[in-house]
Structure 1
Amino acid sequence: MNDVLDASRVCSGTYGKIYLDGKWHNNVSECTADVETDMKAIITCGSEWEDNKAGAKKGSGTIKGYKVTSDMIKQGFKKFELLAELDDPEAYGAERIRLKNCKASKVSLVNFKAGDICETETPFVFSGYELVDPIEAE
């Protein structure tokens, strides 16, 4: 790999897509997903250092987009699978991440204001993920 960053290889979120149970949601403007692990402190006699042991993991995220259909209201709190794809044509490749056992933690029913574009935000939790296609430098 070159020592100088090739700026054209930096991924742009413009090329992101979200598939919910295999269906492309073209109204999505933003999606985030993170995994946290509960770190358990390990303290032993004779050591000045606290160490950590990884505990349970927790996955959470948010889908934001424009109100086009009632799909997310109909989805409700039922389990779904989410595939996030980032496929910038200038990048080293496409990245696809599958989030497993997703469930909305909040469903927005009514959210509008005269003169404004209607947007939706659906926070969710998940348990498990798979890096289906990684981006790797040449």
Structure 2
Amino acid sequence: MLDASRVILGTYGQAFIDGVWQTNINKLEASVELEKRELNLVGNDWKVHKTGIKKGTGTISGYKVTSDMIQRGFSKFDIISKLDDPESFGHERVLLMRCMPDKIQLANWTAGEEVQEETSFTFEGYQLLDPIVGD
């Protein structure tokens, strides 16, 4: 049976851009999509698949506290995602390599509200640095 205390909460997530902890970030999402080619082979009544190239995409968002993302422009950077819930079986760190913004948010504010900043990006590789392994 699942021990509910082992479920990881995003509250303990951290994002590091080029090694610098981004304390203003409250959401990070990244995924890899694999292109597959469908093949029809004689004597086979099943479609088979050949793997192709991969595409990494993600979004990082949080509160605006600096002009860092504007200053970076479209230069590439690395992101390390870290999940470290003290009740989990350990922590997980994933390196997203050669991230590049899709667009740069120059202004997005409303009087009386916190300014949120969201940057969608692509990346060109990943590495699982620290896996979480259950008991």
Q: TM-score range by the shorter chain?
A: over 0.9
1: CA distance, partners of 2:85 / 2:101: 28
Query: In the alignment, does 2:106 pair up with 1:112?
Result: no
2: CA distance, partners of 1:131 / 1:98: 6
User: What is residue 100 of structure 1 aligned with on the other side?
Assistant: 97
Higher mean alpha-carbon deviation, 109-118 vs 26-35, is at: 109-118
Deviation at 1:42, TM superposition (A): 1.1
Q: TM-score, with normalisation over the residues of structure 2? A: 0.98
Letter in 2 for 1:43: N
User: What is residue 8 of structure 1 aligned with on the other side?
Assistant: 5
Q: CA RMSD in A?
A: 0.7
Deviation at 1:48, TM superposition (A): 1.7
Q: Secondary structure, in 3 states, of the residue corresponding to 2:112?
A: coil
Q: How do 1:126-137 residues align onto structure 2 when only pairs under 5 Å count? A: 126-137=123-134
Q: Which stretches in structure 2 are left out of the alignment for 5+ residues?
A: none
Query: In the alignment, does 2:83 pair up with 1:86?
Result: yes
User: What is residue 31 of structure 1 aligned with on the other side?
Assistant: 28
Q: Report percent identity of matched pairs.
A: 48
In the alignment of these two chains, the number of paired residues is 135
Q: TM-score, with normalisation over the residues of structure 1? A: 0.96
Q: Secondary structure, in 3 states, of the residue corresponding to 2:27?
A: strand
1: CA distance, partners of 2:8 / 2:43: 48
Deviation at 1:86, TM superposition (A): 0.2
2: CA distance, partners of 1:26 / 1:106: 22
Deviation at 1:106, TM superposition (A): 1.0
Deviation at 1:46, TM superposition (A): 2.1
Letter in 2 for 1:14: T
